[in-house]
Amino acid sequence: MHNLKNIDVQIPHGKFTVITGLSGSGKSSLAFDTLFAEGQRRYIESLSSYARQFLGKLNKPEADYIKGIAPAIAIEQKVTTNNPRSTVGTTTEIYDYLKVLFARIGTTYSPISGEIVKKNTVTDVIDFLKTKKKNTRCLILSPLNEFQKYGTDKQLDLLKKQGFVRLFIENEFILIEDAIAKKPKNIKKHN
């Protein structure tokens, strides 16, 4: 492009490479308009069609042949914002690409147990319960968000009619009958 005509370039992978030269010799054309443009185009092509619809289509750079280029991200020299919460990731807009990348290929681990976080199906729960010895007591808890919707008295009465016996509030069990009689203050703010 521009001042780049009839040149062949080989850039090694895994090495720090600097492009130098006189003003107008084609450094920016090589780095941004050719290498970066093709690397970014290939990166965007590797994303799902859902992600690509937000990023738009990029044209191929004017080059006869480009081989072995990795996906590329360019960091410009200018500072476009004075926001104190800006980081290198947000200023260069690499943050958005990283979010998409980690969402696609990342694996989430629990900071507490260190195990992989995954969505369990009903079958997963049943299979887990089957691994327990006979007569092992198991507790299955579920959040209740309807207290604000129905009111405490009505919700407690409804739960009792549905066959529930206990509530688990602040790490202790409360019989629903006791909750109806005593009406603990903290019942509304807990699930």
Establish if 162 belongs to a structural domain: yes
> Is 109 in contact with 116 (CB distance < 8 Å)?
yes
CA distance 158 to 150: 10
> Is 27 in contact with 21 (CB distance < 8 Å)?
yes
Q: What is the pLDDT of residue 123?
A: 94
- The residue type found at 38 is E
Establish if 118 belongs to a structural domain: no
Helices and strands: H and E segment counts in the chain: 9, 2
**How many structural domains comprise the chain?**
2
Q: Which of 46, 74, 102 is the last residue before a domain boundary?
A: 74
Establish if 17 belongs to a structural domain: yes
User: What are the CA-CA distances from residue 122 to residues 80, 125, 126 (Å)?
Assistant: 50, 5, 6
Q: What is the pLDDT of residue 148?
A: 64
Establish if 22 belongs to a structural domain: yes
- CA-based torsion, 72, 105, 45, 13: positive or negative: positive
Q: Which of 58, 74, 90 is the last residue before a domain boundary?
A: 74
Establish if 97 belongs to a structural domain: no
> Is 173 in contact with 166 (CB distance < 8 Å)?
yes
* Per-residue pLDDT tens digits for 27-49: 888 888 888 888 888 888 777 78
Q: What is the pLDDT of residue 178?
A: 84
Kindly give the parts of the chain with pLDDT less than 50: none
Establish if 52 belongs to a structural domain: yes
Cα of first residue to Cα of last residue in the chain, in angstroms, is 63
pTM for this one?
A: 0.40
Q: Which of 22, 50, 74 is the last residue before a domain boundary?
A: 74
As given in the structure block, the two tokens for residue 158 are: 């409804």
* Per-residue pLDDT tens digits for 134-144: 899 888 787 77
HEC string for 30-52: HHHHHHHHHHHHHHHHHCCHHHH
Establish if 38 belongs to a structural domain: yes
Q: Name the residue with tokens 């069990």.
A: 173
> Is 81 in contact with 91 (CB distance < 8 Å)?
yes
Q: Name the residue with tokens 């092992």.
A: 136
- CA-based torsion, 123, 126, 132, 138: positive or negative: positive
Q: What is the pLDDT of residue 112?
A: 92
Establish if 35 belongs to a structural domain: yes
User: Domain of 57?
Assistant: 1-74
